[in-house]
Amino acid sequence: MERVCFLLKVKSDKLEEYKKRHQAVWPEMLQALSETGWRNYSLYLREDGLLIGYFETPSFDQALAGMAKREVNARWQRDMAPLFENLGGKHPDEGFLRLEEVFHLD
């Protein structure tokens, strides 16, 4: 199982909207994440917009590729993209800054 931690940056004027959208994630999006191997998925948001994401998956590459094939993911990413800084024209799930794991207490 791969443990994945990533960073993104939410625009400071979009923090409340970002939180509100995650209080009601579309059921079909939740189902797609589950079906494509995203487990123990959590998001943490700092008051300056730093977003830290964590999930576990059998394969990071397969998890991303699986979601890329889902129409619901395309809609979600398109709707969420305006809330983020510095994506360079990418969707949020393409703009992850993945962090290197240096320690894990098992």
Which segments of the chain have a pLDDT < 70? none
Q: Is 91 a catalytic residue?
A: no
Q: Which two tokens stand for residue 55?
A: 């999930």
pLDDT at 89: 84
Cα separation, 79 vs 70, whole angstroms? 15
End-to-end CA distance of the chain: 12
Residue 67: what residue type? M
Share of the chain above pLDDT 70, in %: 100
Per the domain annotation, does 14 fall within a domain?
A: yes
Structurally, the chain folds into a number of domains equal to 1
Domain with 41 in it: 2-98
Per the domain annotation, does 103 fall within a domain?
A: no
Per the domain annotation, does 105 fall within a domain?
A: no
- Give the 3-state secondary structure of 61-75: HHHHHHHHCCHHHHH
Q: Provide the CATH number for the domain around residue 43.
A: 3.30.70.100
Cα separation, 40 vs 21, whole angstroms? 19
pLDDT at 85: 94
- Annotated active-site residue in 22, 69, 78, 90: 22
pLDDT at 88: 85
pTM (2 d.p.):
0.91
Per the domain annotation, does 18 fall within a domain?
A: yes
Per the domain annotation, does 9 fall within a domain?
A: yes
Q: What mean pLDDT value characterizes the chain?
A: 95
